[in-house]
Amino acid sequence: MQSPPIPSRPVADGDAGPPLPPTSSPADNGTTSHPNGTLQQLPHILIIGVRKGGTRALIEMLSLHSSVAAAQNEVHFFDWESHFQRGLPWYLSQMPYAFPDQLTVEKTPAYFTSSKVPKRIHQMNPDIKLLLILRDPTERVLSDYTQVFYNRLQKHKRYQPIESVLVKDGEINLGYKALNRSLYYVHMQNWLQYFPLESIHIVDGDELIRDPLPEMKKVERFLKLEPQINASNFYFNKTKGFYCLRDHGRERCLHDSKGRAHPHVAPAILQKLYQFFHEPNKKFFELVGQTFNWK
């Protein structure tokens, strides 16, 4: 269900109330406007991944900026055929109502690892700005498993112990999808066939958790946004063990499903994972001209 159309930022006292229903169908320029001056626009920015990399934290932190309007849900337009077949007018209808000077952002973490997505996005807008948030590949695999584990637990479904999905016949199980999602080098090669490196900003997901402000200042610069996000927007929640957000006096934290403890993994298996990712990580660093503090 689509939520009622409202501007993405709080409306100040004395401002116009909620917009009236659209007066026109989507225009050729990819917008649908409303009488109070807000409009739906195709995204100027896409957070393309990676799953369990910190995409929810990134879009929440980016939404602190008054020039950004964020889609509330993962739209899965470019990777789900059933959605893509509906065309750009449908995609536009999923965007938030924003003021003309705001940039619209949508995030779907599955975009990064879907081979058909880069071409489709390039066809929509070759000049779009792409944000990619990555974590240590081994940590990302463990987070991926943890999410599936809790989902199955809640549905009272059986789950496989982590060792049995990571290792098969004494070797790393190459058939485990979560491993493929952490082979950043493979997926990045596909994106660079369609977009120059200058169009893709890589956010260090491990650093964003540890100290969010420096990473968000880099994002502001990449998007050419007026510097706005500052230290007062973040406070460390000792109970949760990570940073929460403060926006116009309101405080909010990420959902409880974020930051869950990973299952214990035998040191020998962890070592196998670190070794498995060592070479792909090296190739990725060379590809993007950037290094990360991954094990």
Binding residues: 52-56, 135, 143, 243, 258-262
Rounded Cα gap, residues 134 and 238, in angstroms: 24
- Which residues, other chains included, contact 216 with Cβ-Cβ below 8 Å and sequence gap of 6+? 61, 62, 64, 208, 229
- Provide CB contacts within 8 A for 1, sequence distance 6+: none
Q: Which two tokens stand for residue 180?
A: 């493929």
Burial class for 156, CB neighbours closer than 10 Å (0-12, 13-18, 19+): exposed
Question: Which residues fall in the annotated binding site for 3'-phosphoadenylyl sulfate?
Answer: 52-56, 135, 143, 243, 258-262
Percent helix, strand and coil across the chain, each to the nearest 5: 40, 15, 45
Residues involved in catalysis: 52
Q: Which two tokens stand for residue 227?
A: 């510097």
In angstroms, rounded to a whole number, what is the distance separating the alpha carbons of residues 135 and 137?
A: 6
Please identify which residue in the block is written with the tokens 């993962």.
74
Q: Which of 158, 150, 65 is nearest to 105 (CA)?
A: 65
Partnered with residue 282 across adjacent β-strands are none
Tell me how far apart the alpha carbons of residues 6 and 230 are, in angstroms, rounded to a whole number: 26
Asked if residues 277 and 181 have their Cβ atoms less than 8 Å apart, the reply is no
Whether the Cβ atoms of residue 13 and residue 2 lie closer than 8 Å to each other: no
Tell me the β-bridge partners of 104.
Answer: 69
